[in-house]
Amino acid sequence: MHPYVTNIHNLLNKHRNDLDALPMKKYMREQFEFFGIKSEQRRDISKKYLNSNPLPEKKELQQIVKELWLLPERELQYFAIELLIKCKKLWTENDAAFFEYLIVHKSWWDTVDYLANQVVGPWLLKFPVHIQPVTESWNKSKNIWLQRMSILFQLKYKRQTDLELLSKYIENLANSKEFFVQKSNWMDTKGIFKNGSVICPKLCFKNPLMPLSKREALKVIERKKSDR
Residue 76, domain member (yes or no): yes
Rounded (10°) CA dihedral 51, 56, 58, 62: -100
pLDDT in tens, 165-221: 988 888 888 877 766 577 665 554 444 444 443 334 444 444 455 565 555 545 544
What total number of domains does the chain contain? Answer: 1
Residue 51, domain member (yes or no): yes
Cα(97)–Cα(102) distance, integer angstroms: 9
Residue 20, domain member (yes or no): yes
pLDDT for residue 89: 97
Domain CATH code at residue 31? 1.25.10.90
Residue 149's closest CA among 107, 189, 211? 107
- Global pTM exceeds 0.75: yes
Residue 143, domain member (yes or no): no
Tell me which residues of the chain have a pLDDT lower than 70: 178-180, 183-228
Residue 49, domain member (yes or no): yes
Residue 124's closest CA among 83, 80, 161, 164? 161
Residue 29, domain member (yes or no): yes
Which residue range is the domain that position 45 belongs to?
A: 1-90
pLDDT for residue 177: 72
Residue 24, domain member (yes or no): yes
User: Per-residue DSSP letters for 133-151?
Assistant: HHHHHHHHSS-HHHHHHHH
Residue 176, domain member (yes or no): no
Q: At residue 28, what are phi and psi to the nearest 5 degrees?
A: -95, 25
Instruction: Please return the burial class of 202, using the count of CB atoms within 10 Å of its CB with bins 0-12, 13-18 and 19+.
Output: exposed
